[in-house]
Every structure is written in C-alpha cells, then in structure tokens.
A = this chain, B = another copy of it.
Amino acid sequence: MGQGVESAAHACSILAVAPRGRALPGARLAEFYALPPAYLRKHLGQLVSAGILAATPGPAGGYALARPAEEITLREIVEAIEGRGRVFRCTEIRQRGPTGLSADCYPTRCGVARAMWAAEEAWRAALEETTIADLVAIARREVPREQQERARAWLSESPSDGGA
C-alpha cells in the first residue's frame, strides 16, 4: 500500500482541527508534516475529486473539509487514494489450460476470488467504522499536550511568521 493513505488521513485530521472558515494551503500542510509539497498536493487533489475536501484557488485559498468530520470515514480516504477497484484481481485462470472451457460455462464467480473479495469487504467495513472525528478524538486524548498547543499556535499564526 502506498504511503499516500497515511498522508491523506493525517491531513484530513489536521484540517478537522484547523480554524473553521479558513482554508489551509497544500504547501503549508506539507510544511506541517515535513512532506514533499507537490506530492502531498497530488493526494489532496484525489481527495477533492472524491468529494472529501474542497479546494479554493487564489490568495487565502487552500484545502478544507467538504463535510463534517463525523461523516468522513477512513474507507472513503483509502478508496480515494488507492482506487475503488478490488485489490485482488481475478484473471480467471481456471478457464485457461488444457481443461478449461469457454467463459459461458461458468455461471458463478471463482471461489478463490469470492473468498478474497469477502475478506476485502471485511477490511473495508472495518475502515468504515473509523471516522476523522474518531481520529481527532484519539489524538486529543493521546498526543502530548505540548504538541497539541504547538500545533494550535502554528495553525493560528500567519503563513510567513514561522521563520526565525
């Protein structure tokens, strides 16, 4: 699995606690996590296409949550980044080889594929149980107070005050 999921999940968490009404530029978000700015923005763009984030161009623009944090699940984020397609790809190898028949002869899907896809669905169902709001709540409980205050201050200060 690509690391884009991790970046996207953390970015959504930060946007959930960022001051409401003010968009956060991708470059600033990347600075917060010390990530490659252009690459993070690629993933943020995927989240926008999925309807999870809203992007506003121009000065004072940036990214913001398109919906309440309670309604955004990890499943949506993963599917926005990794794609909605199945992870296991069935190539119907049972139809190949000297004993294989034509595709019409197989009314049901391959048992291997069904089992793999059922497991994937269990995975997606588990991901659906966690929302961005849950992640924020966990962070509020477990992240050291010092970082929480530093993050709050950093999010409030203007974009160019950080240096020295």
Contacts and interface: CB of A to CB of B under 8 A. Distances in A.
Contact of A74 (B99, B100, B106, B115): B115
A139 to B, nearest CB: 6
A91 B150 contact: no
A24 to B, nearest CB: 13
Contacts of A111: 134-135, 138-139, 142
Interface of A: 1, 3, 5-7, 9-10, 13, 31-35, 74, 87-91, 93-94, 96-101, 105-108, 111-116, 118-120, 122-127, 130, 134-135, 138-139, 142-144, 146-147, 150-151, 154, 162
12 contacts: A1-B87, A7-B93, A32-B97, A34-B93, A34-B96, A34-B97, A98-B162, A100-B147, A105-B144, A111-B139, A114-B138, A120-B123
